[in-house]
Amino acid sequence: MNILWIIPGVAVNAGLVLLVAPLCEGVLRKVTAVVQSRRGPPLCQPYFDLLKLLAKEDLESGEAPVVQRAAAYLSLATVVTVAGLVPMGLGIPMNGVGDVILLIYLLTFCGICTLLAGLAAGSTYSIIGISREMMTMIALEPLFAIALLIGVLHTQSFRLDAVLKGSVYSADGFPWSGVIMVGVMLLSFQAFVQRVPFDTSEAETELMEGPLMEYSGPKLALFKYAQMARLVIHSALFVALFVPWGSAFVFPVGWLLFWAKVGVLVLLVTLVAATHARYRIDQALHYFAGLLLVALAALVLAAYGY
Amino acid sequence: MISPEKAVVAAILLCFAGAVLTLGIARLKTLAGWLAFAVTAATAGLIFAAVGRVLVAGPSPEPATFWAMPAIGFALRVHVDGLTAIFLLLAALVALPASLYSIAYMKHYGDYGVARYYPYFLLFLAAMYGLVSTTDMMWFFFIFWQMMTLTGYALIRFEKRKPENIRAANKYLMMMQIACAATMIGAELLAGAGTPANGGAALKYDFGTVSANLPLLLRARPGMTALAFGLFLVGFGIKMGMWPFGQVWLPDAHPAAPSPVSAMLSGVMIKTGVYGLLRYFLWLVPPVAQGDYPVRSWGLVVVLLGTLSLFTGTMQALSQEQTKRLLAFHSIGQIGYILLGTGVCMVMLPARGPDAAALATLGLFGALFHTLNHGLFKGLLFLNAGSMLHATGTQDLNKMGGLLKFMPLTAATTLVASFSISGVPLFNGFASKWCIYVAAVQGSRTAGYLAPCAVVAILTSALTLASFIKFFGVSFLSRRSPLVTAQAARRGKLDVDWRMQTPQVFLAALCLLLGLVPAIAFRFMQQAMNASRHGLGAVFADAAPALNPPWTGLRALEGRALFVPGALAAVVLVAFLGARALSRLGGARRRAVAPWLCGYVRESACHHYVAHHFYGEIKRCFRWLGGAPQRPRTGSKKT
């Protein structure tokens, strides 16, 4: 792909994500409300929230406002960049920029910006949240890495367009490693998108938003926007990696099907979130450790061609 | 233009002269410091010239002999080939900032004189130049090794009034002597059993002679050669801080030394172990002997030791609360990455298959690149820790906080180094880890155990990030601690002066440069491999990844793995500016306010969440790994 097309391509992908993300959040809130027998806000409420936050006063309570600002900008910027590395129903604009390993690292880096922001704010609650969030990330990063590396082992290629095409299944059927990995990823998906029961780092009832507690106004809008976008990006990644069927149809059909699958995944996340209670951090870590062992076994199977 | 060998010997002699001179004027601390810097800069100039010449014009055909006593096989033969050039360059690149940094740093030691600092520093440097360029496996190896060990010992116990420093230095000395003995016994086993081929007894211990005898020896006495190589692995493993040896000496020795010396110890000295490992295991064995040389099994051992080192070292680092001790444990962890790359290279070397040679080269490049990167960012981190120590008078992370406002430049360089060591994309650590991961994952088609090792390495990378988020966060961000407030009130300004800032900026700039244009390092390593075609090392020159213009980034496996930092940087920059513009759309005004603590209590020092409390759940799970510090003497007990 021509190098000049990268930035417009990323803009298209990121634009799509940023456009859809608040809607997904709206769906999430509405469905949660319905499940809990409430009426819930209108579907468009997250758009209004973001707009309102952008105009609100920007309170800075930390001792390092420069870092706070940079972290806020960077958190949205990394999400936008990651959007360019993931197929949003079409091609991957940054296919020629990096491979699977870059994707693994950038996904982790998305979270780091929030951590820096919380540290710069310096409130005790934020830092407790950071400590928890980092521990969750330590446990989650290898899970995602294993899912992608299984794809790499099956396709013998690190390229994103080769791996993000249902590569956990090989061409001639369903190898054990891929099937196990689908299960593992489904069981840990809530954590990747930071929703109940794994939102221990924000835990409104005990930590009051954790890392973001000192933020308001435009910075909070950016962090919130990035978080909404992460739900969409992770869902898209999941669909691209594990539910590839139908994406090969001609443009509007395959594309619509892709987004339909993303929508179903968002609904699933919502239902799980609305019906579960939050885990304590140590319970969550034990849960992830168990999944990690299973995933490692799947990786070994993949390395030996199963 | 002098030959590279002469340049290296001249650099060593210059260091000797410098040592004598600085000893003479040691009363004048600043002048002695500038003199030591001038000498280091001159030797660095000589080294750069030698390295440049080797890379451009190729190495000299034969090692140069400077001094020989044929009766006992005693000969100072020096040869600068590509492999040596890489380590020479690393030594010069780290020594240069470290010596400049020393000038101002050594002043804060008050009544400790510099007569026991600069001379040793220069001899230490000379020994490292010598150790990586001599071809003598016995006498001069011993001489340079001891020179490095003893001067290192003196530098570690520089603050001799603290008993823990003496203990650390003694431990270091003992471990290095064991390593020396192991390596020399190994050399004797290889050299003593063979019949001197061409050079007679005079060159009994020369690389050339041993290498020529090795095919016969490998076939005739496989058990004994295996023992010899095992001893090399132990010897160099101790030196480089490999698990389980590293945990014995390294975390005590690094924090005890003055910070610029810690930078040299961690950045360069432990890398001589990596050099030894590569030189003895790969470059010493001629290709004809490959059938009898179980390189794949050695590779398995190195991969496993590397994986253990990187996981245990980093996991133990996670629970550290002293700046330099934390960094020292990370040295073990990062050495693990280097070992993993080397091990992948050794596993893939004898494999058949289209990509085997390319993967072996990629693994080796990853290891060498990481060696270079680790020298830069760990050197930088130790200098940062030194600046923090200089400003606050403590190494205790629990007592720091909010330093960013007082030392912004140090904070910026620390952030660069922290991101580099954690392998954040666009920083140099990512590029080298990328090579290692690609080689290990792709290599698992040949050896299935490589894939889990790669995942452990990726997991460890997240652990490293966690550790450095803590390191950077609790010292520079967070809230101003009482100690920092007190120091700032007492001293007016906390930031270090320009002689300490320049080295930090220099190293941070190198980290950024290699992160944004890693192809420079690739081109350098490829030239270096071209210039060291002997033994099994000859494979790497031909199988090196295809070279592109530097701005097109890294490619491996015919483009099936790629990384273009330039384009990534452009995308991130545009996105960053976009996000900034978006945040200003609403015209929101900024206002600085007091932090909010649920509205009913004012924040005070006892509410601070200090380094000790971080990652409690993970630390508890891995307490059995050991290395945990004692409970902090002060600081809040609340959770």
Question: Are the beta carbons of A105 and B587 separated by less than 8 Å?
Answer: no
Q: What is the pLDDT of residue B601?
A: 67
| Chain A interface disruption, residue of B458, B485, B552, most A CBs within 10 A | B458
Of A64, A97, A214, the CB nearest to B567: A97
Cβ within 8 Å, pair B434-A101 = yes
Chosen for mutation from A128, A138, A282 (greatest number of chain B CBs closer than 10 Å) is A138
Q: Using CB atoms within 10 A of its CB, is residue B631 exposed (0-12), middle (13-18) or buried (19+)?
A: exposed
Q: How far is B329 from chain A (nearest CA, A)?
A: 18
**Contacts for B102 with CB less than 8 Å, ≥ 6 apart:** B33, B36, B37, B117, B118, B121, B258, B260
Backbone angles phi, psi at A96, to 5 degrees: -90, 10
| Per-residue model confidence (pLDDT) at position B635 | 45
Distance from CA of B352 to the nearest CA of A (A): 16
Structural domain spans, chain B: 295-544+596-639
* A-B C-beta contacts closer than 8 Å: 269
B472: chain A residues, CB-CB within 8 Å: 119
pLDDT of B637? 42
What does the pLDDT read at residue B204? Answer: 78
For residues B241 and B335, the answer to whether their CB atoms sit within 8 Å is: yes
A134: chain B residues, CB-CB within 8 Å? 465-466, 469, 614-615
For residues A298 and A304, what is the distance between their CA atoms, to the nearest angstrom?
Answer: 10
**Who contacts B68 (Cβ-Cβ below 8 Å, separation ≥6)?**
B74, B75, B76, B77, B202
Please check whether residue A78 touches B, CB under 8 A. yes
Judged by CB atoms closer than 8 Å, whether chains meet at B445 and A303 is answered as: yes
* Measured torsion, CA atoms of residues A138, A139, A142, A146, in degrees rounded to the nearest 10: -170
Would you give the DSSP letter of residue A2? Answer: -
Q: pLDDT tier at B89 (50, 70, 90 boundaries)?
A: very high
Name residues 143-172 of chain A within 8 A of B (Cβ): 145-146, 149, 152-153, 156-159, 162
Cα torsion angle, B262, B268, B273, B277, sign? positive
Contact of B481 with B611, CB cutoff 8 Å: no
Q: Would you call A101 and B469 a contact, using CB atoms and an 8 Å cutoff?
A: no
SS3 content of chain B, % helix, strand, coil (to 5): 70, 5, 25
Q: Which pLDDT does position A103 carry in this prediction?
A: 93
One DSSP character per residue, B441-466 reads HHHTTT-TTHHHHHHHHHHHHHHHHH
* pLDDT at residue A167 in the model: 79
Task: Name the pLDDT band for B638 (thresholds 50, 70, 90).
Answer: very low
- Is the CB of B451 less than 8 angstroms away from the CB of A303? yes
Least confident of A88-97, A112-121, B33-42, B302-311: A88-97
Q: Which residue has the higher pLDDT, A84 or A213?
A: A84
pLDDT at B198 over 70: no
Contact between chains at A134 and B563 (C-beta distance less than 8 A):
no
Residue B110 is predicted with a pLDDT of 78
Chain A residue numbers with beta carbons less than 8 Å from the beta carbon of B451 are 149, 153, 299-300, 302-303
Task: Using pLDDT thresholds of 50, 70 and 90, give the confidence band for residue B196.
Answer: low
Task: Look up tokens 């967070």; give the residue.
Answer: B478
Ordered by start, the domain boundaries in chain A are 3-303
3-class DSSP assignment, residue A305: coil
Q: How confident is the model at residue B156 (pLDDT cuts 50, 70, 90)?
A: very high
Mean pLDDT, rounded, of chain A:
86
Is A101 in Cβ contact with B478 (below 8 Å)? Answer: no
Which residues from chain A sit within 8 angstroms of residue B437, using beta carbons?
Answer: 101
Is the pLDDT at B544 greater than 80? The verdict is no
Q: How far apart are CA B462 and CA B204, in angstroms?
A: 48
ipTM of the prediction: 0.92
Q: Which two tokens stand for residue B65?
A: 């002999």
Amino acid identity, position B545? P
| CB-closest option in A84, A116, A285 to B571 | A84
How much of chain B, in percent, has pLDDT values that exceed 90? Answer: 54
Looking at residue B272, what is its pLDDT?
94
Confidence of residue B175 (pLDDT cuts 50, 70, 90): very high
Mean pLDDT within B164-177: 93
Of B476, B563, B595, the CB nearest to A99: B563
Q: Is pLDDT at B557 greater than 60 in this prediction? A: yes
Distance CA B145, CA B276 (A): 11
Chain A: residue nearest B602 by CA? A123
pLDDT at A100: 92
- A64 has a pLDDT exceeding 70: yes
As a whole number of angstroms, the distance between CA B606 and CA B484 comes to: 15
The encoded tokens of residue B85 equal 């050039």
Q: Residues A68-90: pLDDT tens digits? A: 899 999 999 999 999 999 988 77
Whether the pLDDT of residue B11 is over 90: the answer is: yes
CA B64 to chain centre: 29
Query: Which range among A90-104, B504-518, B580-594 has the greatest average pLDDT?
Result: B504-518
Task: List, in sequence order, the alpha helices (H) in chain A.
Answer: 6-35, 45-55, 65-85, 100-121, 124-155, 160-163, 176-192, 204-207, 217-242, 251-275, 281-303
CB B83 within 8 A of CB B528: yes
Of A77, A128, A303, the CB nearest to B576: A77
A112 vs B17, which has greater pLDDT? B17
pLDDT beyond 50 at B612: yes
Distance from the first to the final alpha carbon of chain B: 65
Average pLDDT of the residues of chain B? 88
What pLDDT is recorded for position B114?
86
User: What average pLDDT score do residues B344-358 get?
Assistant: 87
Q: Which of A57, A81, A218 sits opposite B575 (nearest CB)?
A: A81
Q: List pLDDT tens digits, range B450-506.
A: 999 999 999 999 999 999 999 998 899 888 888 888 888 888 787 888 889 999 999
Among the partner-chain residues B401, B455, B579, the one whose CB lies closest to the CB of A145 is B455
For residue B201, the model assigns a pLDDT of 56
- Which residues in chain B are contacts of A143 at CB distance < 8 A? none
Mean pLDDT confidence for B192-221 = 76
Alpha carbons B364 and B544: distance in angstroms, whole number:
10
pTM of the model: 0.94
Whether residue B48 contacts residue B130, with contact meaning beta carbons closer than 8 Å, is answered with: no
Residue B450 tokens read as 């490589």
* Among chain A residues, CA nearest to B638: A124
Cβ distance A62 to B463 less than 8 Å, yes or no, reads no
Interchain pair A303, B444: CB under 8 A: yes
Residue A218 near chain B (CB below 8 Å): yes
